[in-house]
Amino acid sequence: MVAAIDLTSTVLDDIVIDMMDWIDVFNEPPGSISRIDRKTSTYRRLEAAQSRLT
Given a cut of 70, is residue 52 above it in pLDDT? yes
Secondary-structure percent of the chain, ordered helix, strand, coil, rounded to 5: 85, 0, 15
What's the pTM value of the predicted model, to 2 decimals?
A: 0.34
| pLDDT at site 1 | 45
Instruction: Give the structural domain span for 22.
Output: 2-53
Greatest Cα pair distance, the chain, in angstroms, is: 45
State how far the Cα of 27 lies from the Cα of 8, in Å rounded to an integer. 30
Structure confidence by residue, pLDDT tens digits, 4-45 = 555 566 667 776 766 766 666 666 666 666 666 666 776 777
Given a cut of 60, is residue 49 above it in pLDDT? yes
How many domains are contained in the chain? 1
